[in-house]
Structure 1
Amino acid sequence: MNHNSQDALVEVRNFSLRYGRKTALDDVSFDIPKGRVVGLLGHNGAGKTSLMKALVGLQSGQGALRVLGMNPQADRVALLDQVSYIPDVAVLPRWARVHELVTLMSGLQPRFSAERARTLIRRTSVELGDKVKALSKGMVTQLHLALVASIDTRLMILDEPTLGLDVLSRKAFYEMLIDEWCDGERSVLISTHQVEEIEQLLSDVLMLDQGRLVLNLSLADVEQRYVALAHAPELADAVAAAHPLLRYRIHGRSAALFDGAPPQHLAQLGERLRPSLVDLFVALTRKPEQAPHGA
Structure 2
Amino acid sequence: MNNINLVEAREMSLRYGKKTALERASFVIPKGRVVGLLGHNGAGKTSLMKALVGLLPAEGELSVLGLDPRRQRGALLEQLCYIPDVAVLPRWARVSELITLMSGLQPRFSALRARELLKRTSVGLNDKVKSLSKGMVVQLHLALIAAIDARLMVLDEPTLGLDVVSRKSFYEMLIDEWCDGERSVLISTHQVEEVESLLSDVMMLDEGRLVLNISLEDMDRRFVALSHDPATAEAIAAAHPLLRYRQSGGRGAAIFDGAPPAHVAELGERIRPSLVDLFMALTRNPALHRKEA
- TM-score surpassing 0.5? yes
- Whole-angstrom distance in 2 between the partners of 1:250 and 1:281: 17
Asked if 1 retains the 8 angstrom alpha-carbon contact of 2:236 and 2:267, the reply is no
Q: Deviations over 1:162-193 (max 9, x none)?
A: 01111110110000000000000000000112
Q: Percent identity?
A: 74
Q: Are 1:281 and 2:279 counterparts?
A: yes
Map 1:259-274 onto structure 2 (within 5 A).
259-274=257-272
- Whole-angstrom distance in 2 between the partners of 1:257 and 1:5: 35
CA shift for structure 1 position 292: 6.2
Cross-structure match for 2:99: 102
Secondary structure at the counterpart of residue 269 of structure 1: coil
- Whole-angstrom distance in 2 between the partners of 1:59 and 1:125: 36
Amino acid at match of 1:49: T
Cross-structure match for 1:120: 117
Cross-structure match for 1:12: 9
Map 1:155-174 onto structure 2 (within 5 A).
155-174=152-171
Secondary structure at the counterpart of residue 117 of structure 1: helix
Secondary structure at the counterpart of residue 290 of structure 1: helix
Asked if 1 retains the 8 angstrom alpha-carbon contact of 2:202 and 2:216, the reply is yes
Q: Are 1:211 and 2:185 counterparts?
A: no
Structure 2 unmatched ranges of 5 or more:
none
TM-score (norm 1): 0.96
Secondary structure at the counterpart of residue 70 of structure 2: coil
Amino acid at match of 2:71: A
Structure 1 unmatched ranges of 5 or more:
none
Amino acid at match of 1:263: P
Amino acid at match of 1:62: E
Asked if 2 retains the 8 angstrom alpha-carbon contact of 1:35 and 1:185, the reply is yes
How large is the RMSD of aligned CA atoms in angstroms? 1.4
Map 1:126-275 onto structure 2 (within 5 A).
126-252=123-249, 253-275=251-273
Amino acid at match of 2:19: K
Asked if 2 retains the 8 angstrom alpha-carbon contact of 1:90 and 1:141, the reply is no
Secondary structure at the counterpart of residue 146 of structure 1: helix
- Whole-angstrom distance in 1 between the partners of 2:34 and 2:247: 28
Amino acid at match of 1:283: A
Amino acid at match of 1:265: H
Q: Deviations over 1:182-218 (max 9, x none)?
A: 0000000001122112100000000000000000000
CA shift for structure 1 position 268: 1.7
Structure 1, 192-201 or 8-17: larger mean CA deviation: 192-201
- Whole-angstrom distance in 2 between the partners of 1:189 and 1:213: 15
Secondary structure at the counterpart of residue 266 of structure 2: helix
- Whole-angstrom distance in 2 between the partners of 1:230 and 1:60: 45
Secondary structure at the counterpart of residue 81 of structure 1: coil
Asked if 2 retains the 8 angstrom alpha-carbon contact of 1:89 and 1:163, the reply is no
CA shift for structure 1 position 91: 0.9
- Whole-angstrom distance in 2 between the partners of 1:286 and 1:77: 37
- Whole-angstrom distance in 2 between the partners of 1:83 and 1:6: 16
Asked if 2 retains the 8 angstrom alpha-carbon contact of 1:37 and 1:187, the reply is yes
- Whole-angstrom distance in 2 between the partners of 1:106 and 1:267: 59
Amino acid at match of 1:113: S
- Whole-angstrom distance in 2 between the partners of 1:30 and 1:115: 36
CA shift for structure 1 position 89: 3.6
Q: Deviations over 1:16-41 (max 9, x none)?
A: 11112211000100000000000000
Q: Are 1:69 and 2:66 counterparts?
A: yes
Amino acid at match of 1:19: Y
Moved over 3 A (4+): 290-293
- Whole-angstrom distance in 1 between the partners of 2:86 and 2:57: 23
Amino acid at match of 2:184: S
Q: Deviations over 1:95-151 (max 9, x none)?
A: 111111111111111111111100100100111111100000000000000000000
Secondary structure at the counterpart of residue 3 of structure 2: helix
